[in-house]
Amino acid sequence: MDVQAQIKETVTSNPVVLYMKGSPKFPQCGFSNLATQILDACDAKYIAVDVLQDQAIREGIKQYANWPTIPQLYVKGEFIGGADIMRAMYENGELQTLLESAK
């Protein structure tokens, strides 16, 4: 399976997916840390994919969403955005509503 197909399979078969650097317990960058804190604050259940474990995924996810940075959040197969977008959506309540709809 090629990387794009693998990514598509992951984001479409799980309601909430976060591509990040490191793991939720040990984030390897500030933005990934912020993303996990926001999801935890929303009490979201999510799959975390550590892009540092797989160079092909790390490059492939940037192409998949046409988005140059990590972390990347997907809800119900849709690309939502990175840490800044997540923060803005969390502050105005949109993210909580979106995550609730994914349960």
CATH placement of domain 3-101 = 3.40.30.10
pLDDT in tens, 2-52: 999 999 999 999 999 999 999 999 999 999 999 999 999 999 999 999 999
Domain chopping of the chain, boundaries: 3-101
Task: Record the pTM.
Answer: 0.96
Give me the pLDDT at residue 31, please. Answer: 98
DSSP letters of 38-93? HHHHTT---EEEEGGG-HHHHHHHHHHHT--SS-EEEETTEEEE-HHHHHHHHHTT
